[in-house]
Structure 1
Amino acid sequence: MEFLVKSARPETLKTATLVVAVGEDRQLGSLAQAVDAASGGAIGAALKRGDLAGKLGQSLLLHGLSGLKAERVLLVGRGKETLSDRQFRKMAASAFGTLKGLGGGDAALALFDVPVKNRDVYGVARLLLESLADGVYQFDQYKSKKAEPYALKKITLVTAKTEQAEVERAATHARAITAGMALTRDLGNLPPNVCTPTYLGEQAQAMAKAHDNLTVEVHDDKKLRELGMGSFLAVGRGSEEPPRLVVMNYQGGGKGEQPYVLVGKGITFDSGGISIKPGLSMDEMKYDMCGAASVLGTFRAVLEMRLPINLVGLLACAENMPSGHATRPGDIVTTMSGQTVEILNTDAEGRLVLCDTLTYAERFKPRAVIDIATLTGACLVALGSHTSGLLGNDDTLIRQLLDAGVAADDRAWQLPLFDEYQEQLDSPFADIANIGGPKAGTITAACFLSRFAKQFQWAHLDVAGTAWVSGGKEKGATGRPVPLLTQYLLDRLQQA
């Protein structure tokens, strides 16, 4: 789908379908009023007949209105009040749901007279384009019969000349972010017999071949042993698929400028290992690499925008399987940092690959480190599927990420990281246990990681509830938290 921006009066546009918003009580914004006047009051007449109440998400298609160059006009209800982000997304989804079923090859959206809480024209345009792109996404590469292509190929955002530059900027950012989200979703939706640790490394290398300012190294199990990553290696011992640490280094900023580091959990399939999971819905454990996929997706967005920053991505990739070689509950391993870990549950494996990768991140002398992981089912219980969990050791970094989540409509919520929780990880045999018991599972997992993040500003995003949608026909990766991460990086440039 092609997304364009055009400065024009909507009533003068030649298009297959022109979309304008209508509020309850026959409320017309300035753009809808102009279209109504040009059509000789056709919209107002339809409203008086009661054809559309203007409630949020309602729609009405009008054909052959005189005085307009548009072949048809789609009225979409926006309700009574200033809209929240969620309400605006519902309105956009309603409009797109009608548009993609029509025969026209293009559409023009004149929706910038719809008020959205706490959003300027840039923010509204970003929200609109990212909502539309979400509706366009399909994953059918393993189906014999592909989905029928939409007749709709092009959508134009209609804006005033005074706002065109901001809408164009929003469109540039939205295109890059949605491309990153699509890559993240594709990787997450791939079957685990295709998307292995080796495959993720190959995808990063392919990205580097296309961009001169990106370099990629893929460290194999031999290199991991040389680095002393005993915890990382313990996770992949039961699998025929070898583990990989993928190191991505984007140099868009000044030489010697400290980079931001993104660390992604990349467990390409998580059976639980010897502490095996229940069989029900185990197929969804292919999504346990969505943290690593979101790092790749964020790199895609950053590369497309050519952001002037230095950025390092570390993908901690392994497959967690049971076998005669697999790590056992009760085993003790030595991490790259020298700390020893008693593995009480092999299904708490994400923190085992991440802890060594966080230690590896020290060599880059980072400005900040953010790890992204589908780490704990406890986070899904606590926050559901709408909000990512956020913990860390630096209040400024936490606030920056919370603000970025609000701006990107990809929200996170801070959970505490008090010292009292650390005591749940005490082990009689090693420096630390890899689980802290049934209470506060998300927090104790972050407590574990914090032991390996003392040399830098660090934040942890638990996306176990937000990285994919479970069950039914809607099952699939969401592409989150690519919008949050990309917005965080954009904000750092604006505040530099």
Structure 2
Amino acid sequence: MQINVVTRLPASADNACLLVFLFADGRLKGAARRIDKNSGGTIRSLFASGDFSGKKAETLMLHALPGAPTARVLLIGMGQRKQNHAQQWREACRAACKSLVSTPSSLAISDCLSAVSIDGLSACDMAGQLVTELVNANYVFTLHSRVDEPRQSRLMQVSLTVEGKQVEAVNLAVRRGLSTGLGMCTARDLGNLAPNICTPGYLAERAVTLASEHDNLTTTIVTEDEMEELGMGALLAVARGSRQPASLIVMNHQGRKRAGKPIVLVGKGITFDTGGISIKPSEGMDEMKYDMCGAAAVFGVIQAVSTLQLPLNVIGIVAAAENMPDGNATRPGDVVNTLSGQSVEILNTDAEGRLALCDALTYAERFKPDTVIDMATLTGACIVALGHVASAVMGNDQPTVDALINAGEASGDRCWSLPLWDDYQTQLDSNFADMANIGGRPAGSITAACFLSRFARQFKWAHLDIAGTAWISGEGKGATGRPVPLLMQYLFDYQD
């Protein structure tokens, strides 16, 4: 999709749709005012009749409107003007994009960046969020062959108008929004792929391919034999029951000319999770292909960072494995030694994500990172606590946690902090090892993070539990691409 930032709308455009965002008070500005005048008051009449009220996320498509530069004009409600805020803008954008991509339009145009004012949002903020929503609405999963191919949007181009002095800054915001959206699409593709295709080996191949597409990106694959030599007993324990060998994937984006401490992103990449010997119920187990959505997000962020050539050093580490029951699988009660030298008593083989992540976190020490952020579909307890709206965030560095919360608010990909107090650590006590891999039912998300914290003592660290936000179940089943927007905003804020 091509996004153009221009200073005026075209007088006419073929096979196009004009996006008009309107508050519920019916006050018209810019293109809306001109079209209403040229059409004999059509928009005001719609407000007067109640056919369009301007309520939040309401849409109405108008066709062949006299005086309009396009064959289609899409009215989008913004809600009450006095209550306008960033979330209101995102919801309006989402509704607009959903409606737009269902039309045959190949071009969309809008003066919304100058005609609409949102408290706390600049034209750049608005542009970035609109473009990200456009890319996401345009997403269709096409990586599996089907006799009846899914319908794809015809939208190819979008033109947004701003004042001349804003063009350069808005263009940057558009590039950021576009790269973030495409990173989300990559994460969604990887999450949605069938688990017989998206194996640890497949992820390794994708990482090598990604590096070949960007000059500032290199990829290293740590094999099982190399893991054995290093002493990564926890990650290897997860993979023991599978015929698919584990991989530790390291993608290194060097955006600075001079070496500097990198930001390291660590993703849980369990490409299918049966629970192992502690096997899960069969109902809904197909969705356990989404247990690698943390890894998928790392791929999406690294792709976006490399495409934008951000002047940051960012390393993505993916701990990829498949958790299967087998005669060679890890048993409840087994004790393994981790890369850190600490031993773990595995009381539940379905708490495998933290085993994969703990060795990856220790591996990250060699890069002398500024900050490490891990992300994982780690605990069902997180869904109980926060539902499917916010991811959970915990860590050993409050400024990093705060920065992630702020980035979530700015991007709309929100997270919320849970306590990581030492009081919870005793739930991991073991009579036979340095720690157990579970702490019982109480505070399950917190004790999982407590476990990880024992492998993150050498650096600033935050943990994102995305179990409730990484995918959607039901009729609209599919990966969401979260937390790519959150992490990209965090990196933009870090850079700026």
Which bracket does the TM-score occupy, shorter chain normalised? Answer: over 0.9
Q: 1:39 to 1:272 in 2, by over 3 A?
A: same
Residue of structure 2 in register with 1:176 after alignment: 179
**3-state SS of 1:211 partner:** coil
Report the alpha carbon displacement of residue 49 of structure 1 after superposing the two structures with TM. Answer: 4.0
Structural mapping, 1:259-338, within 5 Å: 259-338=262-341
Deviates more, 1:63-72 or 1:284-293: 63-72
The superposition leaves residues 464-494 of structure 1 with CA deviations (integer Å, 9 ceiling, x where unpaired) of 1111112x22111111111111111111111
Q: 2:494 aligns with which of 484, 492, 495?
A: 492
Report the alpha carbon displacement of residue 139 of structure 1 after superposing the two structures with TM. Answer: 0.9
Q: 1:116 aligns with which of 115, 118, 137?
A: 118
Residue of structure 2 in register with 1:14 after alignment: 13
Residue of structure 1 in register with 2:381 after alignment: 378
Q: 1:241 aligns with which of 240, 244, 247?
A: 244
Report the alpha carbon displacement of residue 433 of structure 1 after superposing the two structures with TM. Answer: 0.6
Report the alpha carbon displacement of residue 155 of structure 1 after superposing the two structures with TM. Answer: 2.2
CA distance in 2, matches of 1:258, 1:96: 39
Backbone CA RMSD of aligned residues: 1.8
Residue of structure 2 in register with 1:353 after alignment: 356
Residue identity in the other structure for 1:427: S
Residue identity in the other structure for 2:43: I
CA distance in 1, matches of 2:65, 2:256: 53
CA distance in 1, matches of 2:476, 2:453: 35
Q: 2:343 aligns with which of 324, 332, 340?
A: 340
**3-state SS of 1:391 partner:** strand
CA distance in 2, matches of 1:336, 1:94: 48
The superposition leaves residues 400-428 of structure 1 with CA deviations (integer Å, 9 ceiling, x where unpaired) of 11111111111111111101100100101
Report the alpha carbon displacement of residue 435 of structure 1 after superposing the two structures with TM. Answer: 0.4
1:432 equivalenced with 2:435 (yes/no): yes
Contact 2:264 2:314 in 1 (8 A): yes
Report the alpha carbon displacement of residue 31 of structure 1 after superposing the two structures with TM. Answer: 4.2
CA distance in 2, matches of 1:104, 1:264: 38
**3-state SS of 2:44 partner:** helix
CA distance in 2, matches of 1:356, 1:460: 15
Residue identity in the other structure for 1:51: D
- In structure 1, runs of 5+ residues without a counterpart are none
Deviates more, 1:29-38 or 1:208-217: 29-38
Residue of structure 1 in register with 2:208 after alignment: 205
Contact 1:469 1:477 in 2 (8 A): yes
Residue of structure 1 in register with 2:150 after alignment: 147
Contact 2:343 2:434 in 1 (8 A): yes
Contact 1:238 1:326 in 2 (8 A): yes
Contact 2:138 2:153 in 1 (8 A): no
Q: 1:25 to 1:117 in 2, by over 3 A?
A: closer
Residue identity in the other structure for 2:92: M
The superposition leaves residues 286-340 of structure 1 with CA deviations (integer Å, 9 ceiling, x where unpaired) of 1111111111110000011001111111110111101110000001111111111
TM norm structure 2: 0.95
Report the alpha carbon displacement of residue 133 of structure 1 after superposing the two structures with TM. Answer: 1.7
The superposition leaves residues 43-65 of structure 1 with CA deviations (integer Å, 9 ceiling, x where unpaired) of 22443344322222333333444
Q: 2:459 aligns with which of 453, 456, 460?
A: 456
Residue identity in the other structure for 2:318: L
CA distance in 2, matches of 1:358, 1:152: 42
Residue of structure 1 in register with 2:159 after alignment: 156
Aligned residues: 492
Residue of structure 2 in register with 1:478 after alignment: 480
Report the alpha carbon displacement of residue 30 of structure 1 after superposing the two structures with TM. Answer: 4.3
Report the alpha carbon displacement of residue 115 of structure 1 after superposing the two structures with TM. Answer: 3.2
Residue of structure 2 in register with 1:91 after alignment: 92
Residue identity in the other structure for 2:275: G
CA distance in 2, matches of 1:257, 1:56: 45
Contact 1:362 1:455 in 2 (8 A): yes
Q: 1:358 to 1:94 in 2, by over 3 A?
A: closer
Residue of structure 2 in register with 1:51 after alignment: 51
Q: 1:187 aligns with which of 182, 190, 198?
A: 190
**3-state SS of 2:78 partner:** strand
CA distance in 2, matches of 1:50, 1:388: 39
Contact 2:90 2:412 in 1 (8 A): no
**3-state SS of 2:90 partner:** helix
Deviates more, 1:276-285 or 1:114-123: 114-123
**3-state SS of 1:402 partner:** helix
Residue identity in the other structure for 1:72: R
Report the alpha carbon displacement of residue 39 of structure 1 after superposing the two structures with TM. Answer: 4.0
1:214 equivalenced with 2:213 (yes/no): no
Using the aligned pairs only, state the percent identity.
Answer: 51
**3-state SS of 2:121 partner:** coil
CA distance in 1, matches of 2:102, 2:343: 59
CA distance in 2, matches of 1:421, 1:50: 56
Q: 1:422 to 1:132 in 2, by over 3 A?
A: same
1:103 equivalenced with 2:100 (yes/no): no
Q: 1:344 to 1:250 in 2, by over 3 A?
A: same
Contact 2:392 2:464 in 1 (8 A): yes
Q: 1:287 to 1:39 in 2, by over 3 A?
A: same
